[in-house]
Amino acid sequence: MGDLIKIAVDAMGGDDSPKKIIDGIILNHKSNKDNFFRIFGDNEIIQKLIKGKVDEKFYEIIHTDKSVKSTDSPLEAAKRGKDTSMWLSIESVKKKDSDIIISAGNTGALLVIAKLNLKMIENIDKPALSALWPNKKGMSVVLDLGANIECSSKNLQDFSIMGASLYKSLYPKENPNVALLNIGTEELKGNEIIKETFQILNDKKSDDFNFSGYIEGNELMNGDVNVIVSDGFTGNVALKTAEGTANFITSELKKALSGNMIGKISSLLNISNLKRFKERLDPRLYNGAIFIGLDSPVVKSHGGTDYIGFANSLDVCNRIIKGNLINKIKRNI
């Protein structure tokens, strides 16, 4: 195994698992020979899917026929036992057998089981759920996306540091601009917690990021800010709104271009532009939310994504470990 990045994979979580998960591993392995996959799930099914498609020196299967169901509450999932594929994969990171864990399973269960098994990074009170969003110039990190409904100014300050550290891990050559998501850009706007956080970040100079003040919802995709910070309630609403808008645009465009003869002709003339546009909005490219604040990184792949989306989130795992995310957070906090 040598210097390979060891990824613990919950193979039984999410729609169409384990087939989607194993197909994602096979696709990722074709372009990246840096990863060793520690796969947790039903040995018999997984062997049939992976045998002969990935060299055996790049994976091992840890058998369990128990898994967390998508319908389980977080409490039920934790009680279901310590021999589910989700629990065992998280435990693998806890024991330092793996560097990072990924699951496409039940989000609430993943957060609870991760918090039960893994310690918090010292001086961080709450972990946050973060993700990558496309913008005009590349990518932004957005957090928190729903792990914490209410946050203090200390939490938001921690999220700023964690988000900037994540961005630096994924894009080592760039120094991120950090902003707080707010209802206006003037200093007087927003609630007391946001205003307090603004003062703290404005007064505290950091070598690792530039503080850019406030950002409004309509500016999220401009690309001037790389790390966008909010409480989990606001962040989750913003995420769902952005996803819904992207789906609406692509479906309406498809309808307009396939409806009548003029639409069909114009779509043929613009085929390469339309293809580029569709690719930019493809959610599979941005698959993989990262649960940060714990002393090991936990990646959540979207349960409904396909094997291409899962393969992309394995790439995110690789970049997080190569970018030394946890040490960056510890140093900056």
| CATH code, domain with 139 | 3.40.718.10
Q: What is the C-alpha separation between 64 and 85, in angstroms, rounded?
A: 6
Confidence band for 303, pLDDT divided at 50, 70 and 90: confident
Of the chain, the percentage scoring pLDDT greater than 90 comes to: 57
Q: What is the pLDDT of residues 109-123, one digit of tens each?
A: 999 999 999 999 999
Domain annotation covers residue 38: yes
Same domain for 145 and 196, yes or no, is: yes
Same domain for 136 and 272, yes or no, is: yes
Judge whether 318 and 141 are in contact, CB under 8 Å.
no
Same domain for 257 and 151, yes or no, is: yes
HSE-up of 201 (CA within 13 Å, CB side)?
A: 29
Question: CB-based burial of residue 20 (10 Å sphere; 0-12 exposed, 13-18 middle, 19+ buried)?
Answer: buried
Same domain for 162 and 99, yes or no, is: no
Judge whether 208 and 171 are in contact, CB under 8 Å.
no
Q: What is the C-alpha separation between 202 and 43, in angstroms, rounded?
A: 53
Same domain for 24 and 7, yes or no, is: yes
List the domain range (segments joined by +) for residue 160.
132-283
- pTM summary value: 0.86
Confidence band for 291, pLDDT divided at 50, 70 and 90: very high
Same domain for 276 and 306, yes or no, is: no
Judge whether 50 and 22 are in contact, CB under 8 Å.
yes
What are the tokens at 300? 């959540």
Helices in the chain by DSSP H: which ranges?
A: 19-31, 43-50, 74-79, 85-94, 107-117, 153-170, 192-203, 232-259, 261-269, 271-280, 307-322, 325-332
Same domain for 144 and 227, yes or no, is: yes
Same domain for 115 and 140, yes or no, is: no
Q: What is the pLDDT of residues 159-197, one digit of tens each?
A: 999 999 999 998 988 889 999 999 988 877 888 999 999
